[in-house]
Structure 1
Amino acid sequence: MTLKHKVAVVTGGSDGIGRQIVLKLATQGVHVAILGRNTERLTAVEKEANEAGSPKAKLYVCDLRSLSMIKEVVGRILHEFGGVDVLINNAGIWQKKMPLEELEEGVVDEVIQTNLTAQIHLTRLLLPALKKQKEAAIINVISKSGVTAQEGQTIYSASKWGMAGFTEVLKTDLHGSHVRVASVYQSGTRTDMFMKTGEKFSAEKLEKFTDPADLADVIVFMLSRPPKIWLHDVRVEQ
């Protein structure tokens, strides 16, 4: 896909992996709709993306746990950009490692809604627009927790295994169409997602985590392959 002047929607775009994806796409001349919850961070990323070369980078404050907000934002994006070529489902939250019976109900609902349900709804709502393009792509940034069993991570892993299954079926359903689907299964990445839950890692382990900018490079590489080449699944390990 030739990325210049394409329109991409990136969730979780205010920091971490999402921010780096937005900035890498901007350098390729991509129009970017940046979704996130933190207005201050989104404003900073929007400014950076426009300065990095995006013809149009625009922030959209959206709590993905709210279906009504998702619907409203999708309507605004389609109206303001005129269509969508690329959807990158990147938003996600971490569940602190602990036995299942010790998890609070609110944590269970929040993780499933953010990591799985919201991504399904956003994809469902944008799919008609993606299908109108001669060439379109959906990339789901999932995590290796979607293919391996992570001790103490019952709900987080359930949300990621759910995304893996969703991606595989969507890939089958869209086979032969102009919309191509891929998944990225990355190991630990150096973002503040873990710290937000109070999870602590040793300095040695953190040093081994993947840099978000490197992961963003992988995703841009996937998108920019010629039409006859498509990388269905990519695993990124440290």
Structure 2
Amino acid sequence: MKHIALITGASSGFGWATARKLAEKGYDLILTGRRGDRLQALETELHNMFGTKCRLLVFDIRDKKTVFQQIETLEDNWKKIDLLINNAGLALGRDYFEEADMDDWETMIDTNLKGVIYITRAVLPHMIVHKKGHIINMGSIAGKEIYEKGNVYCASKHALDALSRSMRVDLLRHGIKVTAIHPGAAETEFSIVRFKGDSEKAEAVYNGFKPLDPEDIAETIWFCASQPAHVCINDLEITCTAQANAYLFHKE
């Protein structure tokens, strides 16, 4: 029987690349996101390349009621989720604290933290009954240290780091692994979203150095997910060679 992975935020970036990697490795996939057309395109690609079976769930992870309803709509065979990848997340704005848009703050907290809580609570009963499973939370180097104008984004990722550690302790008795992966600068839609479509600002973020790409993170996720049953990679921070911490880069 094939393993099943659920990936949130699968319509682009890390989620899309991870779906490809897991499909290549033989997983069947539950793909979630807000953009149904992108999920359908990904499903077609994975079916054509690997014969992967996919189940698409189109919803906003901030909507608690819908998250639980969508998981309950899954057929029994799809509820046997082996791997949950909490990838959906975003940054909005790069402003001093007193100048930031509070609606942006609400969106980041609701997505980066509360969304992870909702989907994990919805999936967990189906892992617990089998006494196994693996949860991978996509954190950020911004969850390890703060930087100027990072304020609530950093706070949301620090909270996710604490949540990951707490999950690992609480779920120990159920035999469920919890891994947190904390990428540094990576060239995805992240900066376009952060700067609200301003492509010039987004591109400037990566000027002068080679950032991580989505495939780097997908490979990292696969490494963590492919360890033997008795091995768990608890916490992993990953940057490109040109990045030393959350704010220090060597640029040509």
- 2:142 is matched with 145
- Return the offset for 1:235: 1.1
- 2:13 is matched with 16
Asked if residue 177 in structure 1 is aligned to residue 174 in structure 2, the reply is yes
- Return the offset for 1:38: 0.8
- 1:81 is matched with 78
Closer, same or farther: CA 68–133 of 1 in aligned 2, 3 Å: same
- 1:70 is matched with 67
Asked if residue 215 in structure 1 is aligned to residue 228 in structure 2, the reply is no
Structure 2 unmatched ranges of 5 or more: 241-252
Closer, same or farther: CA 206–51 of 1 in aligned 2, 3 Å: farther
- 2:54 is matched with 57
Q: Residue 33 of structure 1 is aligned with which of 30, 33, 46? A: 30
- Return the offset for 1:228: 2.5
Number of aligned residue pairs: 235
- Return the offset for 1:209: 1.4
- Return the offset for 1:200: 2.9
Residue type at the aligned position of 1:214: D
Q: CA RMSD in A?
A: 1.7
- 2:105 is matched with 108
TM-score relative to the length of structure 1? 0.93
- 1:224 is matched with 226
- Return the offset for 1:79: 4.0
Residue type at the aligned position of 1:231: I
Closer, same or farther: CA 62–113 of 1 in aligned 2, 3 Å: same
Q: Which moved more, 1:60-69 or 1:204-213?
A: 204-213
SS at match of 2:145: coil
Q: 2:79·2:126 contact (CA, 8 Å) conserved in 1?
A: no
TM-score relative to the length of structure 2? 0.88
- Return the offset for 1:174: 1.4
Structure 1 unmatched ranges of 5 or more: none
Distance 1:80 1:73 in 2: 15
- Return the offset for 1:226: 1.0
| Percent of aligned pairs with the same amino acid | 28
Distance 1:139 1:78 in 2: 23
Closer, same or farther: CA 78–85 of 1 in aligned 2, 3 Å: farther
Q: 1:133·1:178 contact (CA, 8 Å) conserved in 2?
A: no
Closer, same or farther: CA 42–209 of 1 in aligned 2, 3 Å: same
SS at match of 1:77: coil
- Return the offset for 1:54: 5.2
- Return the offset for 1:192: 1.2
- 1:202 is matched with 204
Closer, same or farther: CA 141–78 of 1 in aligned 2, 3 Å: farther
Residue type at the aligned position of 2:129: K
